Amino acid sequence: MCGICGIASSTGPADPERLARMSATLVHRGPDADGAITDGPVALAARRLAIIDLATGDQPIANEDGSIHVVQNGELYNYRELRADLERAGHRFRTHSDTEVLVHLYEQHGLDFARHLRGMFAVAVWDSAQRRLVLARDRYGIKPLYYRSSQTGLEFASELRALPRGEVDLDALEAFLAFNSIPAPLTIFREARKLPPGHMLVWQDGDHRIQRFARPGPAAAGELRSDDEAELVEELRARLRDSVRAHLIADVPVGVLLSGGIDSSALAALAAEASSEPLRTFSIGFEERSFDELADARLVAEQYATQHRELVLRPNAALLLPALAEAFDEPFADSSALPTYLVSQLAAQDVKVALSGEGGDELFGGYYTYVADLLAQRVGGLARLARPLVELLPSSSARASFDYKAKRFARAAHLPPLERHHGWKEVFSPEARAELTGRGSAFDPVDLLRERYAETEGAEPLARLQDVDFGLYLADDLLVKTDRASMAHSLEARVPYLDPAVTNLAFVLPRRQRVRGLRKKVLLRKAVAPLLPQEIVRGKKRGFSIPAAAWLRGELEPFARETLSRETLRRQGFFRPEAVQRLIDRHVAGKEDLSRRLWGLLAFTLWHERHVEREPAALSSERLEALVR
C-alpha cells in the first residue's frame, strides 16, 4: 500500500523538485519509505507503507535492463501465481514484492497486463523505449487515481491534494449536492479528473487517451445461475473463504474492522478460521443505543476469541469534523466517514492491514432501497395519493425512522425505475439545489446514473439498479470513505467482497437469491449462517451510520450555526445564507430530518476552508482523545 504520483512533461524534462513536493503531500499514505525516478520527460514517485517484502520491496521498481519502471498503490493477491508463470517465460526477479510482477507482466502482455491482476491497485508504468506512460486503476475502484492534463503535460497522484488547485467545478458541486460525494470522472476542481474504475490512461507523444479494460457487472437475464440453492450456498461460502485467505496475505499483522453487521462479521469469522494466531478485531459504538452495534460485534469476537478493541463515540463530533476535512481532500459528506476514521485510528495502533466489508450490500442485495424498488412496482400509485398525509408525519431522530422512510417512499414511488431508485437516496433535489445556490444548472447529475444504467440493458431489472450502486455509490462514496479514513492513519484497508472469486458469482445470481419479499441478502445469510451467531444472521441492517439528526438538534447545533454563518457563506460564495438558515431552523424544530443536507453543507464549508482558503484543520492528540472513551 502506497501513495504514488508522477509527471509526464510535453515541454522538456520532468521537474524532480515539483515531483518531490507532490510526494511530500502523500506521506501519510506511505510513511515507511519513499523513492523516485526521473527519466527525461517522465518522473515517478512512491510513498511506501510496507506490507509485503519488507526488506526489498521499495519503489519504483524496474525490469532487468531498466527500460521499464513501475509504482503501485495497492496489493496484488495473485502475484505469486503470476510470478511463477513469468519466471517460466524467462523473466528474472530481484525482489519478492508483488509490485515487481507488474513490470514483467507489462513486458509480457503490453497494455493487456491489467486484465491479469487480482487485487486492488492504482499503477503507473513508464516504458522508456516506447516513451509511453500507462496509468491503470483496478476494476472496482478500490484505489484512487487522479490526473490533471494541460498543454505542458500530465500530472497524476493518489490524492487530489498533490495536484495544483484550480477553479471549483460547478457541475461537480451539483453532483455533490445530489449525492453527498463526487462521482468519477469529476473532481471538485475543473482542471482535474478521476480515472474511472477499470480504466487505463495511456500518455504518449504529449497526448493521452483513456480506455476501459474491465467492466464487472450483472449477467443478462438469460445467463443467471439456476443451480439448486444448497449448491449455491456451498459455492458462495467456498468463494468467500478463498477471497479472505487471499486478502490475509501480508508480512505484517492483519485485523478486521468489525461493525457487528453480517458483512464484517462473516469476514471476521472466516479470517479467524484461516489465522494461526488470534485475530485482532476493532469496533466503534455510540452512546445513542439505537445506533450502537458493539453488543453484536462482541458476540462475534467472543465466539472466535479475537483480540477485540472498541471505542464509544461521544456526541461532541464538532471536534472531529475539521480532521475529516483534512483527510478528505475534496468535499465528502457521508457521515459514516466519522466512525470509519476513528475505528481506523484504533486499528492502526495494533495492525497495518485491516479487512473491511464494503461491497456486500451492492453485490448481494443488502439495502432497504432494493425492497422499496420491488414494493413500488405494486403500490407506487397509492403511495403518491397518500403523500399529503405522509408529509404530516413528525420527524424522528432515530436510526432509519419510519417517518423518514415513508416520506422518501411516497415522494419517489411513482417515478421510473432509475429515477425512483435515486429518489430514495437523493440529498438535494434540483429544486432544492437551485434554492440553495441561487443558480440554475444545465447539468443533471442523474445523467451519470443513466449512463451506467444504459450499459446493462437486458439484465434483470433489480440487478441493473444494484449495478448503478456498485459503479457509483460504492466506487465514489464507500470506497473513497474507506480509503481516505484508513490511509489518514497509514492503515491499509482491504475489501474481500470485491474480488473476482466473489463478484463472479454474485453477478449471476437470480433475484430470489438476493432479495425475496422483505428479505435481503438471502443467499449470503444462508452461506454464513453456520459461522455466526443467529442474532447476527437474522439481524436488521443498520449500516455504519451515526446519530447525525439528533446531534444536529443537540450538541452539534451551535457548531453547525457557527460553521454555516452568514459571514462564512458570503465569503465562500456558493450557498445563499438565508436558504441555509432555513434548513437549520426546520431541522432543529423537528419539522423534517434534514441532517444529510446539513452534514453535506458542513463538509463542503470545512473542506473549502482547509483546502481552498488554507485554514488549518488538524486536531491535537489531546482534543482527539476527548472524543472517545
Q: Which residues are catalytic?
A: 2
d(CA 203, CA 206): 7
568 neighbors 615 (Cβ within 8 angstroms): no
Burial class (CB in 10 A: 0-12, 13-18, 19+), 151: exposed
75 neighbors 120 (Cβ within 8 angstroms): yes
DSSP state of 12: S
* Beta bridge partner(s), residue 148: 155, 192
Helical segments of 328-458, H only: 337-348, 360-364, 368-390, 402-412, 417-425, 430-437, 446-454
E strands, 442-537, are 492-494, 515-516, 519-520
**For the packed helices 446-454 and 417-425, what is the interaxial angle rounded to 10 degrees?**
140
61 neighbors 32 (Cβ within 8 angstroms): no
Burial class (CB in 10 A: 0-12, 13-18, 19+), 540: exposed
d(CA 76, CA 591): 50
Cell triple for 21: 513536493
What is the enclosing helix (H) or strand (E) of 312? strand 307-313
Unique residue bearing C-alpha cell 484461516: 274
Radius of gyration in angstroms for the set of CA atoms belonging to the chain, rounded to a whole number: 24
96 neighbors 56 (Cβ within 8 angstroms): yes
48: left (phi over 0), alpha (psi -120 to 50) or beta: beta
d(CA 284, CA 313): 7
